[in-house]
Structure 1
């Protein structure tokens, strides 16, 4: 027991092989020490996730834990590492990128046996910092901390966030801001760009150990098979297609869908200038530096497909020693993306409308509704949520949702067909509303809510971070006391711009 009466933090046991990814060696991820952060303060702690990992919730009260989460001390028996990778950024290949401000500090085994890697984002300079300071600012750290947990609560595969640490250390971006560190967690952080790095340097022999690590640790069902690379790449391609469908269904825009921001495990990775849409615009661009709209909402499924093609290009040497055969296999894998996307996306739209099964004309019904929302820039989340209140036992106007609609003539004509479709399957209004509210979130992490939390935190108050954290962990629940968080943004906050600066 320490002098203040607390029990010192004890790190949970490392995996039986304590350095599984690190064991690949300096070629992939050299040892890089974190840079101590002055006067670190634990601003928020994800106690539920900590319990999953095997870290007791009381750890948040101990200065030793804050020091670990700030990068001010090393995890017991683990030297931190930082990865090198490449990537296609806005369509152009950059031959060397890497963890410019990220350090993998531990590989753990959770209470249920699952694998967890802990990575500090903002932990200081690395060999891949490219003359940058290796720090993250409080603004972007709050956004990533909350976004990853919001996506998890929505059921979307993602990295997670364990802790948020702040510091008064000044950091220059467009203005002077303060530093922060997020500890993010995932089964693994390997990106498409890891494979691109070795492929485009013609270091093809180094692809195999990396791919075998991914397969052995994360896709053990394929381990040892002669076709293991083909099987893994097929699975990742289909996972990516399903992930894009999940993003579209909740109106999530990533903002920077570069190949170095795509996970070889099929997770949502790197939360920069992301946004959940307020006013629905099929061409919405959430990153104001994306002037050409390459990563606009309606382009995300196609970019996911293109990124998979880049991963397959980079892994051709694994598929066959014969180049022509390797290309043929890669093309056959890539062909799996469109149907995988459709098979995931169509049922999601059908479920969002409360339909129990798919019929021939249902896609047209969905597209007409989306067209009405797009034309009037109706609020995406509120419109679907209100639709659950429509009744089929009356032909009276649909209340609630009509307040969101600009073209009421088109909407009222659509409602006639929608009611007829619901009646054709003898839909029960009460039961349908329950199903719709289970897939249409009432609360999403809107930019104006984040901005309010950021501004308060920059002023020294962190209560709004905790409020949003609790809110987003129950996105489908009514939470009457939180009703104002489901409202449209005020006019003054409808054009908040986010960029890659962090």
Structure 2
């Protein structure tokens, strides 16, 4: 791309990651593809990044860049090295099918990674082909943008480009590349890689980089790295609480899929829960339920313990003191998580202030929902819709729910806020729509099998304002008819 085109598109790259020691990355160009075409461009996100969305959409510029055939001026494409525990087993990983183009500096001065996912083989590919299929890339687009609309910290999807080539998994599939936007792609696994294969100076350089990029307000001095651990634990506690509050199941909570920034990353076998059940698992490879919905808070703590282990040399020169510091922060993680979750549940139930038995009130409702196989989202949606419970899910007609409802109403009556204020709080805290699994599959089938994006566009428009409670959202809140267990796949 010449300089004029770069200025027209609005690319404004820096790559601070290349100022880290060289063991953390490999510089390389994306692999070109046969016939790139732009499938979907997130025009609003593009504009917020300082990019000219119209120029990217109407010329071959966007397709060439987002498919990897053209490297924008100022970009320094690289594959990042990292390690990680996958289903509890430690292994060397790295960007096996992704390249970081660089960091886009927005007009406001903010810095965001622009990564191409599915851009070809890298030195970290192991046995993979480095490519991605159109369906999983569109799935990440749909779900990550839905998460953003729900107010949950997440990586975002800037564009999906078709490659004009086929890839081979169980069957022949159309190839695609996703352009992903992130606060950064620093992971717990990045620190595990530094601790395992780097020197002490490499680990410290990485920690200092993470602080400068994500936690610049942390105090300097001896407690700097303990403060980093505390900050990461707090952000992850808040993030996991938000997942639980909307019934989101990540599906593959390996340590390489936990960010230092506190954003949700990697939308492979993810899905949203229908009937409430803490044991819910969708991922086809999670055969023992390690990453089930109810396990997510504890798995996050396990991952953070691995992060803490990498930081021990920086926490204190005496190992025993370092372990004590780490253990204290991990205990605090659970305190922060429980506080965030309970505050969220109070809001979902329209409760202001705090009372001793609020947690029991929330947990008893969840137990009833599990007992009666009630839909998670629609139960809270019905409670929020008009502030009544006379109509709604079958759960509402049961005797044990009637007893719970009396306790709830008594709690509402004890607070100063009006019924209308409680209803507004509930509607702002309980989404009317989520990306229902059958709706996502419907959109992907239309796009991949019939080259019809209209189903996905309508779904995206509905999910863009999940708290609207509009008549147009009614059909998207319908629970699918009972069928066999829903299964999701990594798409790798």
TM-score (norm 1): 0.93
* Residues 304 and 77 of structure 1: CA distance in aligned 2, closer, same or farther (over 3 Å): same
What is the alpha-carbon distance in structure 2 between the residues aligned to residue 164 and residue 400 of structure 1?
42
1:488 is aligned to 479
| More deviation, 289-298/25-34 | 25-34
- List aligned pairs for 1:408-447, cutoff 5 A: 408-425=398-415, 428-447=418-437
* Residues 188 and 33 of structure 1: CA distance in aligned 2, closer, same or farther (over 3 Å): same
What is the alpha-carbon distance in structure 1 between the residues aligned to residue 383 and residue 364 of structure 2?
14
- List aligned pairs for 1:386-405, cutoff 5 A: 386-389=382-385, 391=387, 398-401=389-392, 403-405=393-395
From 460, 463, 468, give the equivalent of 2:454.
463
Superimposed CA distance per residue, residues 235-290 of structure 1 (whole angstroms, 9 cap, x where no aligned partner): 00111111110100000000000001000111111111011111111111121321
2:176 is aligned to 180
Report how far residue 500 of structure 1 moved: 2.3
1:156 is aligned to 152
What is the alpha-carbon distance in structure 2 between the residues aligned to residue 473 and residue 25 of structure 1?
40
Report how far residue 225 of structure 1 moved: 3.5
Superimposed CA distance per residue, residues 345-396 of structure 1 (whole angstroms, 9 cap, x where no aligned partner): 111001101111221111111111101111122111110010124657xxxx
Superimposed CA distance per residue, residues 137-189 of structure 1 (whole angstroms, 9 cap, x where no aligned partner): 11110111111111111111111111111233111112111111111101210
2:197 is aligned to 201
**Residue 191 (structure 1) aligned with residue 181 (structure 2):** no
Segments of structure 2 that go 5 or more residues without pairing to the other structure are none
Moved over 6 A (4+): 6-9
From 70, 82, 86, give the equivalent of 2:79.
82
Verify the 8 A CA contact 1:378 1:406 in the aligned structure 2: no
**Aligned residue-pair number:** 488
Report how far residue 404 of structure 1 moved: 3.8
**Residue 380 (structure 1) aligned with residue 373 (structure 2):** no
- List aligned pairs for 1:239-388, cutoff 5 A: 239-388=235-384
TM-score (norm 2): 0.95
What is the alpha-carbon distance in structure 1 between the residues aligned to residue 6 and residue 17 of structure 2?
28
- List aligned pairs for 1:43-62, cutoff 5 A: 43-58=39-54, 59-62=56-59
- The two structures, once aligned, show a CA RMSD in angstroms of 2.0
**Residue 22 (structure 1) aligned with residue 18 (structure 2):** yes
Verify the 8 A CA contact 2:23 2:198 in the aligned structure 1: no
What is the alpha-carbon distance in structure 2 between the residues aligned to residue 475 and residue 28 of structure 1?
39
* Residues 119 and 389 of structure 1: CA distance in aligned 2, closer, same or farther (over 3 Å): closer
Verify the 8 A CA contact 1:75 1:106 in the aligned structure 2: no
Verify the 8 A CA contact 1:378 1:404 in the aligned structure 2: yes
What is the alpha-carbon distance in structure 2 between the residues aligned to residue 400 and residue 7 of structure 1?
58
What is the alpha-carbon distance in structure 2 between the residues aligned to residue 256 and residue 248 of structure 1?
15
Verify the 8 A CA contact 1:274 1:286 in the aligned structure 2: yes
From 195, 203, 208, give the equivalent of 1:212.
208
